């Protein structure tokens, strides 16, 4: 009987931990929707040489740090700009990381997590983007995200 109870506890704890981990990880369609929402909401400066790179309008120092984190090698902003597939891969990697953090912080509240990631994307902080330019930007990202998610749920 003792062995049976021990096996049940081990079995239960493994089941609990794996479902707990799954609940925290963003789904691929959530990451894809977030990546696309960030791309669609990216501020358009109207200048060709505005110092921002790719369709996501990423700063040069950020490109280097994110590529090193995601690819384990540093890319130049030009390399990032000239390879849209690699840029999307890096953006997906970072978005997945940040969305995961925010899903954990918000107890899996998807819209609150998206709001936090959008704020972080623009400011480096997860909160404080309620007004002005950043507030408008965050609302755009959330709206685009919801559109992307509704399109993927129809497919």
Tens of pLDDT, residue by residue over 112-140, are: 999 999 999 999 999 999 999 999 999 99
pTM for the predicted model, two decimal places: 0.80
Tens of pLDDT, residue by residue over 43-76, are: 887 777 777 788 888 999 999 999 999 999 999 9
Q: DSSP letters along the chain, please?
A: -HHHHHHHHHHHHHHHHHHHHHHHSPPHHHHHHHHHHHHHH----S-TTSS-BTTTTB-HHHHHHHHHHHHSSPPPHHHHHH-HHHHHHHHHHHHHHHHHHHHHHTTS-HHHHHHHHHHHHHHS-SS--SSHHHHHHHHHHHHHHHHHHHHHHH-
């Amino acid at each position: 009987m003792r062995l049976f109870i021990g096996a049940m506890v081990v079995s239960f704890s493994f089941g609990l931990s794996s479902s707990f981990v799954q609940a925290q990880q963003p789904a691929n369609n959530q990451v894809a929707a977030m990546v696309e929402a960030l791309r669609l909401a990216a501020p358009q400066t109207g200048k060709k040489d505005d110092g921002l790179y790719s369709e996501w309008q990423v700063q040069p120092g950020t490109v280097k740090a994110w590529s090193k984190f995601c690819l384990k090698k540093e890319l130049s902003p030009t390399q990032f700009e000239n390879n849209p597939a690699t840029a999307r891969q890096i953006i997906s990697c970072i978005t997945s990381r940040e969305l995961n953090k925010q899903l954990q912080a918000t107890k899996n509240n998807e819209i609150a997590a998206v709001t936090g990631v959008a704020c972080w994307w623009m400011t480096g902080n997860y909160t404080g983007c309620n007004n002005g330019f950043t507030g408008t930007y965050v609302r755009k990202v959330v709206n685009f995200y919801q559109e992307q998610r509704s399109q993927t749920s129809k497919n």
